[in-house]
């Protein structure tokens, strides 16, 4: 999906699009406007995911201009929130002036009646410490990523996570170099006793994890290593690529190191 699919305020989407996704690059605000048809759901979901991966931090999704079945809207937004909950520094807040977005999937959402209240709630939430770095698919990319990860884990008071985070980021970056061969974005965020790590590339080819590799195999251990050091990990498809992410906990490190 190109940047054109997230138009700046005041621009109009192609007439065939029922629901417009209007993003303001100077803020965290994204407005949904028009009529949300069933055929729009996947496109809108993709646009919100791209917005969340393109800039660190939560976003505020304003439904004031949206005409939609609130069950469908709630299911869509809750699905996006579940998809990004383990990404580094990603979340969404919702503005629903109608007050009807409360049941079913929408119960998982942080919903506010006005944009001002949602923005104030966002301002009250401490921003996670975040690093974002653009990398090229070259042989030295993994080494540079390890240096960045080690430095930030130390700065953020989690030096014990530097080693497992380096193992994970090495496999993520090398996967892009070997299989995707596209530019990539490394993002790392610390929150509480966890470090969230993600690498976004521009290939829709999904990683395949088949469990432990054979002792005689020459490769295939990359995802196994991530699975070993991370409490949770996964791959989220995007319209123009994917995000591979993992979550590391300080309390898990001693068990991992002992094993």
Structure tokens given for 234:
């996964």
Give the tens place of pLDDT for each residue, 27-85: 899 999 999 999 999 999 999 999 999 999 999 999 999 999 989 999 999 999 999 99
Is the domain of 216 the same as that of 185? yes
Q: Distances in Å between the alpha carbon of 34 and those of 12, 17, 60, 66, 188?
A: 11, 9, 17, 5, 35
Q: What is the average per-residue pLDDT within 119-139?
A: 92
Domain termination residue (choose one: 85, 105, 124): 124
Q: Tokens 């990603």 map to which residue?
A: 90
The region of weakest confidence among 83-87, 151-155, 224-228 is 224-228
Average confidence score pLDDT of the chain: 87
d(CA 170, CA 165): 8
Torsion of CA 81, 84, 89, 95, to 10 degrees: -20
Residue 5: pLDDT band by 50, 70, 90 thresholds? low
The answer to whether 245 touches 88, Cβ cutoff 8 Å, is yes
Whether 112 and 157 share a structural domain: no
What was the pLDDT predicted at 12? 36
Same structural domain, 137 and 251: yes
One domain for residues 119 and 179: no
Looking at the fold, whether 43 and 134 belong to one and the same domain comes out as no
Q: What pLDDT score does 24 carry? A: 86
CATH number for position 24: 3.30.750.24
Q: Say whether both 136 and 209 belong to one domain.
A: yes
Select from 104, 124, 144 the last residue of a domain. Answer: 124
Query: How many structural domains are present in the chain?
Result: 2
pLDDT band at 8 (very low <50, low <70, confident <90, very high): very low
- β-strand pairing of 110-112 with 92-95: parallel
Q: Which of 79, 105, 124 is the last residue of a domain?
A: 124
Judge if 138 and 188 occupy the same domain: yes
Residue carrying the six token digits 């029922």: 18
User: What's residue 216's pLDDT?
Assistant: 38
- Cα separation, 130 vs 57, in Å, equals 9
Residue the block writes with tokens 């698919």: 137
Do 119 and 47 share a structural domain?
A: yes
**CA–CA distance, 89 with 136 (Å, rounded to integer):** 23
Q: Quick one: pLDDT at residue 209? A: 60
Torsion region of 241: left, alpha or beta (phi above 0 gives left; psi -120 to 50 gives alpha): left
14 pLDDT more than 50 = no
Same domain, 99 and 115: yes
Is residue 154 domain-shared with residue 240, that is, in the same domain?
Answer: yes
The answer on 166 and 104 residing in a single domain is no
pLDDT of the residue at 9: 43
CATH of the domain at 227: 3.30.565.10
Return the structure tokens found at 259.
Answer: 């094993």
Range 122-126 average pLDDT: 87
Return phi, psi of residue 168, to 5°. Answer: -65, -45
Q: Two tokens at 127?
A: 């921003």
Count the residues in the chain: 259
Give the structural domain span for 238: 129-258
| 223 lies in the same domain as 250 | yes
Query: Tell me: the pLDDT tens digits for 161-178?
Result: 999 999 999 999 999 999
């Amino acid at each position: 999906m190109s940047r054109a699919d997230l138009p700046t305020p005041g621009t109009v989407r192609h007439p065939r699009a029922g629901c417009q996704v209007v993003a303001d690059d100077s803020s965290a605000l994204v407005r949904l406007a028009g009529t949300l048809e069933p055929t729009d759901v996947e496109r809108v979901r993709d646009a919100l995911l791209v917005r969340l991966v393109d800039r660190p931090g939560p976003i505020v999704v304003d439904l004031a201009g949206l005409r939609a079945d609130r069950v469908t809207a709630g299911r869509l937004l809750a699905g996006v929130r579940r998809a990004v909950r383990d990404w580094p520094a990603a979340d969404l807040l919702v503005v629903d002036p109608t007050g009807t977005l409360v049941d079913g999937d929408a119960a998982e959402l942080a919903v506010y009646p006005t944009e001002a209240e949602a923005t104030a709630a966002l301002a009250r939430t401490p921003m996670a410490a975040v690093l974002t770095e653009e990398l090229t698919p070259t042989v030295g990319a993994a080494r540079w990523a390890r240096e960045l990860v080690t430095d930030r884990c130390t700065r953020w008071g989690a030096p014990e996570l530097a080693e497992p985070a380096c193992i994970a980021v090495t496999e993520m970056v090398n996967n892009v170099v070997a299989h995707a061969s596209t530019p990539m974005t490394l993002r790392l965020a610390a929150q509480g006793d966890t470090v969230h790590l993600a690498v976004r590339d521009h290939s829709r080819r999904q990683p395949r994890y088949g469990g432990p590799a054979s002792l005689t195999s020459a490769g295939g251990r990359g995802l196994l290593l991530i699975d070993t050091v991370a409490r949770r990990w996964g791959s989220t498809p995007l319209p123009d690529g994917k995000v591979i992410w993992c979550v590391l906990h300080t309390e898990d490190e001693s068990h991992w190191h002992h094993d």
